Amino acid sequence: MLIGVYEGGVWKIRVELPDAYSFGSLCLDVINQSWSPMFDLSNIFDVFLPQLLLYPNPSDPLNRDAASLMMKDRKQYDQKVKERVDEETVDDEDVTDEETGSSDDEIAGHVDPYGEDEQVKRSHVGFMDRLVAGNVERDQSWGWNMTSDPCKDKWLGVSCDSQSKLVKKVVLKQLNLTGVLDIGCLQADGNQISGHLPDSLKQLGDLKRFDISDNNLSSKVPDISGISGLITFLAQNNELSGEVPNLDFSNLLQFNISNNNFSGPIPDVKGRFSADSFSGNPGLCGEVVSRPCPPSTRKSGDSSTKQFAIYSGYAALGLVAVLFIAFKLVGKMKLKQDTIAVEANTSKHNNKTSSTSNKSMITENKSEYSISSFDSRAVLSSLVVLTSPTVQGLRFDDLLRAPAELLGKGKHGSLYKVMLDNGATTLAMKRIREWSITSEELKRRMRRLDQARHPNLLAPVAFYSSKQDNLLVYEYQPNGSLFRLLHGPESGQAFEWESRLNIAAIVAEELAFMHEELGEDGIAHGNLKSTNILFNQNMDPSISEYGLMEFQHQSFDLQSDNFGKDSYGSFKADIYGFGVILLKLLTWKPVQANGIDLARWVHSVVTEEWTVEVFDKALISQDASEERMLNLLQIALKCINPNPYERPNLNQVVLMINRLKDEEDRSSFDP
């Protein structure tokens, strides 16, 4: 299914196989490229053709008019495409193969015989066609056809504005209509529609795309939280008010309510939408727009409970502080081990702390740790140390008192480098606060990970879980992450093709091992990306943070909306994540939006030209084998197949990559 301007379009595609066709897969001839048996039919239909439509190559056009319009005025081009798609879709049954064949060449050259009114009329007629659905005898006197005018010819049920002669109201009562109105897309953007959004909106249970942007609508948005499949909600540039609509943000691909009058706290948008989606609403507050919400702000449902929890947290903190001072004053409390105070750790560690960044975590993040300090004895007993020899006997209190450095804040928490025993042991500690996992589930996962050890998997060495906090302790990896290698300060250094292939092979093997071992337990990685591929002293890559998150990567296939909510989805998401890592190794390009943008870019380049453009220039200058790079790219494309069910499993991926590695090894012995 295509989105954007092509949504709802229907294409007839004729595929001819060459007489000499003898390969197991198909070629790119369909888009005018030279023969290459690299891709199978599903790649062509699911990826290349949609990509060709969404990212046409105007510098090498089949249709010059279309290309020049696209270059000159993208908006008008999109509009033209939309009109053409609507037209072809409505008239689909009447279109012969020959007509379909010629229509592709005429997108921009086509002169639209209809004005805007005709477009509106066409939608009305289409609407009635659906309602009638062939079951009801349609009386000619009803109108509702393309040869008459809804206002002048007084279509049944239609009332018009007496001055503007535009349709104002449609009432279709008791006409015995039986058709099905499966509205998946409600799009009325760029008009001057004013008034209220009807409450009945919530009855459109099949709605996927809702776009009322650029109008003059001025009501609250009705409660449409029950529309579970909504993937687009665009309402920017109106005068809408009230609270931000309560939607399933983890499902939405597009969301924008900027330039309205919305007010109140912004709900948890799962990190998917930035301030741009909310700007121009001075009454909104929350982290996304960097405007703290006043304490009096109340929200219904979940968020009010959350806020209550936050404010209760503050209250508890205040109470702790008061108690702490009281205890100090009356001298009833000894500050030796339990108290989290600056003096306590400086006395033990100040001679070890040389730089300002290497402060104790307790000093640096005192407020963050004050909750843990509430009952430090309980905490001490609940750090679970796993089987790693590095940290035997480690206590929670050792971790808290050791000098620490904040390495980064990811989507799911903060990561600290913790130095124990005068720097002899260095650990990485991930702190995840709001995590919906239960302690039991965390324990189960940690145990399984501990049992399923792979030499290249960075398994946790200890963990701690309480209601407020979860800590996961890993061995510190001194040589940074793959992300850093590619984009960090050392990124200028040569990064050989052989090393990249090696990394790909090791990571694939590691992941395949984990999937095999933990498949039955439903534990996938869930958040595979280049910051989670770390290098040890020998520069061997290892996967870290395995099994922490349920599902992060979203395929850009809209059909897989619900995909990934089960553990099978998470395994397939890992394969997608691995595909993006391969793309990074091949292209050296940064990734945004979980790799979807990189995947799209690669597809667009591959589709347009099928040249080596896509590869990192350093690889080309190293004289790396083009054939093997193309083969690795092919594997990456299989992994990021928009249809998760079509992705290979990791054992297949390992086989393919190892085959490439063998070829590479043979070629280096026998150049």
Residue 477 binding ligand ATP, by CB under 6 A: yes
Please say which residue, 442 or 458, places its beta carbon nearer to ligand ATP. Answer: 458
What DSSP string runs through 194-226?
Answer: EE---GGGGG-TT--EEE--SSEE-SBPP--TT
Query: Which 3 state secondary structure label does DSSP give 61?
Result: coil
For the annotated catalytic residues, the residue numbers are: 27
> Beta strands 384-385 and 462-465: pairing type?
antiparallel
In the region spanning residues 232 to 261, those forming contacts with ligand ATP, defined by CB under 6 A, are: none
Residues linked to residue 429 through DSSP beta bridges, in sequence order:
416, 473
Provide the minimum distance between the beta carbon of 232 and ligand ATP in the complex, in angstroms, as a whole number: 25
Q: Which of residues 367-426 bind ligand ATP (CB under 6 A)?
A: 407-408, 410-412, 415
Residues 319-338 interacting with ligand ATP (rule: CB under 6 A): none
Q: How far is the CB of 171 from ligand ATP (least distance, A)?
A: 53
Annotated ligand binding at 430? The verdict is: yes
476 binds ligand ATP (CB under 6 A): yes
CB count in 10 Å sphere of residue 552: 21
CB 224 within 8 A of CB 230: yes
List of residues 6+ apart from 30 with CB closer than 8 A: 13, 15, 44, 48, 49
Q: How many residues bind ligand ATP (CB under 6 A)?
A: 19
Structure tokens that stand for 14 in this block = 């004729």
555 binds ligand ATP per the rule CB under 6 A: no
- Helices 567-587 & 626-639, crossing angle to 10 degrees? 150
Helices 596-608 and 567-587 sit at what angle, rounded to 10 degrees?
A: 60
Closer CB to ligand ATP, 368 or 663, in the complex:
368
Shortest reach from residue 426's CB to ligand ATP, in Å: 8
Among 545, 550, 574, 608, binds ligand ATP (CB under 6 A): 545
From 59-67, 106-114, 393-401, 524-532, give the range in contact with ligand ATP by CB under 6 A. 524-532
Measured CA to CA in angstroms, residue 250 lies from 205, 553, 599 at distances of 18, 11, 20
Q: Is residue 3 a contact point for ligand ATP (CB under 6 A)?
A: no
- The minimum distance between CB 450 and ligand ATP, in angstroms, equals 16
- Dig out the tokens for 627 from the structure: 């054939």
Q: Cβ-closest residue to ligand ATP?
A: 410
d(CA 363, CA 671): 59
> Bridge partners of 159?
169
Distances (CA, A) of 661 to 347, 541, 627: 54, 16, 12
Question: Which segment (136-144, 529-537, 578-586, 616-624) binds ligand ATP by CB under 6 A?
Answer: 529-537
Minimum separation from the CB atom of position 11 to ligand ATP (A):
38
**Which CB sits closer to ligand ATP, 506 or 605?**
506
Q: How far is the CB of 405 from ligand ATP (least distance, A)?
A: 10
Between residue 446 and residue 465, which ones bind ligand ATP under the rule CB under 6 A? 458
Question: Please, are residues 190 and 214 in contact by the beta-carbon 8 Å criterion?
Answer: yes
Nearer to ligand ATP, 486 or 639 (CB): 486
Q: Quick check: 501 and 661 in contact, CB under 8 A?
A: yes
Interacting residue with ligand ATP among 372, 481, 555, 567 (CB under 6 A): 481
- Residue ranges for the known binding site for ATP are 430
**Contact positions toward ligand ATP, by CB under 6 A?**
407-408, 410-412, 415, 428, 430, 458, 474, 476-477, 481, 527, 531-532, 534, 544-545
- Residue ranges for the known binding site are 430
